[in-house]
Amino acid sequence: MRTRDGLVTAARRIFERDGYLDARIVDIAAEAKVATGSFYTHFSSKEDVFAAVLARLHDEMLHAGVSDGGDESDGERKDLWRGVEDANRAYLESYRRNAGLMAAMEQAAAVDPQFVRVRLERSRVFIDRSAAAIARLQQSGLADPELDPEIAARALSAMVSRLAYATFALGESLPFDTLIDTVTKLWTNALRMPRDRA
């Protein structure tokens, strides 16, 4: 088991360094300090080990989703804008930490349908969470009732994820705090959420 974990850790470093297309099994084995034959004891291919790397990343990269304010206590509601800001900050900080791997996933998805499915599954979880939160906000009178929750969630998710890719994977230089503030305003303004300070 230790060798398998070591290979996954080594593979992550190689994918981050070389990208998906240029990563080689021989380099992964060398990084893990094992013989190339040992790689094949645990994984059948580069695709197989990359899937294992992405599985480790899955939980960290999932966005917590927009908050609907939670339970009310003493007549006060959590600041809705702050909930959106916190969720966007967590997602963008995680993306920034994992930018090399996210760039490798983009490459993999461009050439392998398996990784298109992985991307779609990751997006689906975020979209489902966000759509449910948007629907709750609408039911509470805190978001535009005319919006389709799923389509709104898809649009907002696409905006944030593509902006993260351009900023962190492609290396565009944007001030991080300004990025968070702008994305939060776009999210909340798109939903017509009230700015509600406790």
The tokens of 28 are what? Answer: 């992964």
Work out how many domains the chain is built from and give that number.
2
Judgement on whether residues 49 and 82 belong to the same structural domain of the protein: no
Confidence of residue 122 (pLDDT cuts 50, 70, 90): confident
Distance CA 93, CA 81 (A): 18
Judgement on whether residues 69 and 114 belong to the same structural domain of the protein: yes
CATH number at residue 33: 1.10.10.60
Domain span at 176 = 62-198
Higher pLDDT, 77 or 108: 108
Q: b or e along 130-145 (b: 16 or more beta carbons within 10 Å of the residue's beta carbon)?
A: bbbbbbbbbeeebbee
pLDDT digits over 93-105, tens only?
Answer: 999 999 999 999 9
Q: What pLDDT is recorded for position 190? A: 96
Judgement on whether residues 50 and 90 belong to the same structural domain of the protein: no
Judgement on whether residues 14 and 82 belong to the same structural domain of the protein: no
Q: What pLDDT is recorded for position 185? A: 95
> What average pLDDT does the segment 79-94 reach?
88
DSSP code per residue over the chain: -HHHHHHHHHHHHHHHHHHHHH--HHHHHHHHTS-HHHHHHH-SSHHHHHHHHHHHHHHHHS----------BTTB---HHHHHHHHHHHHHHHHHHTHHHHHHHHHHHHH-HHHHHHHHHHHHHHHHHHHHHHHHHHHTT-S-TTS-HHHHHHHHHHHHHHHHIIIIIS-----HHHHHHHHHHHHHHHHT------
Judgement on whether residues 183 and 128 belong to the same structural domain of the protein: yes
Q: What pLDDT is recorded for position 152? A: 98
CA separation, residue 63 to residues 5, 92, 95, 98, 163 (Å) = 25, 9, 10, 14, 15
CATH number at residue 99: 1.10.357.10
Q: Which of these three, 12, 32, 56, is where a domain ends?
A: 56
Q: What pLDDT is recorded for position 73? A: 38
Q: Counting Cβ atoms within 10 Å, is residue 190 exposed (0-12), middle (13-18) or buried (19+)?
A: middle
Q: What pLDDT is recorded for position 62? A: 63
Judgement on whether residues 98 and 193 belong to the same structural domain of the protein: yes
Judgement on whether residues 155 and 192 belong to the same structural domain of the protein: yes
Find tokens 């490459």 and name the residue.
Answer: 107
Distance CA 70, CA 67 (A): 7
pLDDT digits over 42-78, tens only?
Answer: 999 999 999 999 998 876 676 444 444 444 433 334 5
Find tokens 């996933």 and name the residue.
Answer: 105
Phi, psi (5° rounding) for residue 14?
-70, -45
Q: Is the whole-model pTM more than 0.75?
A: yes
Q: Is residue 173's pLDDT more than 80?
A: yes
Q: What pLDDT is recorded for position 64? A: 45
